[in-house]
Amino acid sequence: MSTTTVTTTINHFINGAESAGEGDRTQPVYNPATGQVTAELRLANRADLDNTVAAARAAADSWGDISLAKRTAVLFKFRELVAEHIDELAELITAEHGKVLSDAKGEIGRGLEVIEFACGIPSLLKGDYSDQVSTGIDVFSFREPLGVVAGITPFNFPVMVPLWMAPMAIATGNAFILKPSERDPSASLLLAKLWKDAGLPDGVFQVLHGDKETVDGLLTHPDVDGISFVGSTPIAKYVHETATAHGKRVQALGGAKNHAIILPDADLDNAADHLAAAAFGSAGERCMAISVAVAVGDAADLLVKKVEERAVAVKVNNGTVPGAEMGPVITPASKERIVKIVTEAEAAGAAMVVDGRDLVVPGHEEGFWVGPTVIDHVKTEMTAYQEEIFGPVLVVVRVDTLEDGIKLINSNPYGNGTAIFTSSGAAARKFQRAVTVGMIGINVPLPVPVAYHSFGGWKASLFGDKHIYGPEGVSFYTRGKVITSRWPEPTHASGASYNFPSN
Ligand code: NAD
């Protein structure tokens, strides 16, 4: 890893402008494909946190009061600007995350979908009205913003995950503070500038860089009303517990161990194509990556052979190289952890089908590389099965029947995504009804819902009861008001009644 001196410093974005803040701590940011330090990231201190929250509080009051027409105009403009800057955003993602440029553009595309959904906010915020619930009495309801909300996001989608949150929070009238991952923070600053260029008032979208200290400050700050978190399960659980104990509304999305069941009646070429793409795309660093292939009956041997052919053919390189299909993993520590888990599985008797542990990419010897890896005959007691590996590793577990596969999935503590490959409608229907998982694909390996449905897992993959973006996002960032109204005619005084009102 490089120790080269860098001069680039990544700032916060507070109250409408880049800011060095007052904190004196910094942290290096790497290009994982080259192993070079590319920048120093400023980490917020308490004064930075207080200044950011104060700016958000002041902005929330006026932004929450602004007309829907004006809010929508900003969202439309922001959508246009993100689309115009897709290349620039993708370059920032690839330089700090390592995923290939085409994949980086894919995540921005999914983020754009959420902005488009948020552009329809006037109809999403339409309330309900009941006329004449009692004589002369009407009841109506509508939703108001929470106020100040914070989003704490993971390294693996530095644009998409912030865009799962911010457009929804802002469209519903809140001020939003983004605490991005320390590993790939640059794209968030460009997003901040695009929001400003779109006409968003200062303080409505801010970026505060930091680590646990900043997160803890947000979770406990009396002026923060809601927290959206996406990251690993232990931190999601901690965030949920801490912030709810401090009276905040919280949605905390955690990690995953996504299984795909392959039945013998599936088109195995199609299944192998999708399994390889879902396991090795983005170096397996997706919360919806398929990391366990559950091969049913005699599908196994042929399936493993077909996945092997695809795994060895994946073009691993710096994500900026044309034609590259997979980049490096995020840190040396991540590489070390992945290699250790694979080595333990091998020692415990699993069969190495494709071994990516020693991969070196010529010209990028200092990069954090792990090649596509396939391990067969994995048992549930192995760490390779139990832990979220978050690397380009597909483990194959063999079972006898669909029912055994469903039992396996339902015994797993995670419940983010799952998929079935089959040509049987009856089997697919049985599967979709039986699994305890939030997002299910039928011959679709990465069933990330479109923006007008909401995204969320079950069990250890989500703490809190609201899924993210889509209709549940609108609900999460707002609270309801119900008004019971009577306009008595001056001549119709009803007199006092001391009973509980009935209709
Ligand atoms: P992470 O949990 O390490 O970090 C997420 C955020 O939490 C970061 O902003 C980080 O600064 C902060 N954080 C880290 N440690 C903390 C601590 N001790 N106290 C307070 N805050 C802390 O996750 P990551 O490695 O950046 O991202 C990968 C994880 O995110 C994987 O587990 C992946 O499955 C998960 N993920 C889940 C979803 C989903 O939708 N369920 C989506 C993307 C990623």
Say which CATH number the domain at 76 has. 3.40.605.10
Same domain for 69 and 119?
yes
Q: Can you give the CATH number for the domain in which 304 is found?
A: 3.40.309.10
Higher-pLDDT residue of 501 and 103 is 103
Q: Which of 236, 270, 231 is nearest to 419 (CA)?
A: 270
d(CA 375, CA 355): 8
The structure's pTM equals 0.97
What confidence score (pLDDT) does residue 427 get?
98
Cβ(438) to ligand 1 under 6 A? no
Same domain for 72 and 217?
yes
Q: Give 290's strand partners.
A: 258
Within-domain flag for 497 = no
Task: State yes or no: is 119 an active-site residue.
Answer: no
Within-domain flag for 369 = yes
Cβ(154) to ligand 1 under 6 A? yes
Same domain for 306 and 366?
yes
pLDDT tens string 172-205: 999 999 999 999 999 999 999 999 999 999 999 9
Residue 425 has pLDDT above 70, yes or no: yes
d(CA 500, CA 371): 70
Same domain for 358 and 292?
yes
Q: How many domains are there within the chain? A: 2
Within-domain flag for 222 = yes
Q: What is the mean pLDDT of residues 138-146?
A: 98
What confidence score (pLDDT) does residue 495 get?
75
Within-domain flag for 491 = no
Looking from the CA of residue 388, the nearest atom of ligand 1 is: 32
Residue 1 has pLDDT above 60, yes or no: no
Same domain for 466 and 343?
no
Torsion angle in degrees (nearest 10) through CA of 300, 301, 302, 304 = 80
Same domain for 292 and 216?
no
Give helix 68-84 / helix 186-197 axis angle, nearest 10°: 130
Percentage of the chain modeled with pLDDT above 90: 95
pLDDT tens string 204-245: 999 999 999 999 999 999 999 999 999 999 999 999 999 999
What confidence score (pLDDT) does residue 81 get?
99
Residue 274 has pLDDT above 70, yes or no: yes
Q: What is the mean pLDDT of residues 266-274?
A: 98
What confidence score (pLDDT) does residue 494 get?
65
Same domain for 145 and 183?
yes
pLDDT tens string 289-317: 999 999 999 999 999 999 999 999 999 99
What confidence score (pLDDT) does residue 340 get?
98
Beta strands in 3-60 (DSSP E): 9-10, 12-14, 17-19, 25-31, 36-43
d(CA 433, CA 454): 18
Of the candidates 415, 442, 469, which is a domain's last residue?
442
Cα 156 to ligand 1 centre (Å): 9
Looking from the CA of residue 330, the nearest atom of ligand 1 is: 25
Cβ(211) to ligand 1 under 6 A? yes
d(CA 205, CA 20): 17
Same domain for 232 and 378?
no
Residue 287 has pLDDT above 80, yes or no: yes
Domain, as residue range, for 65: 9-129+140-254+461-480
What confidence score (pLDDT) does residue 230 get?
98
Q: What is the mean pLDDT of residues 355-374?
A: 97
Same domain for 266 and 145?
no
Do 455 and 470 contact (CB within 8 A), yes or no? yes
Q: What is the mean pLDDT of residues 324-334?
A: 98
Same domain for 50 and 183?
yes
What confidence score (pLDDT) does residue 490 get?
76
Within-domain flag for 500 = no
Higher-pLDDT residue of 489 and 261 is 261
Mutate to test the pocket of ligand 1, among 43, 99, 156 (most ligand atoms within 8 A of CB): 156
Within-domain flag for 490 = no
d(CA 142, CA 483): 9
Residue 4 has pLDDT above 60, yes or no: no
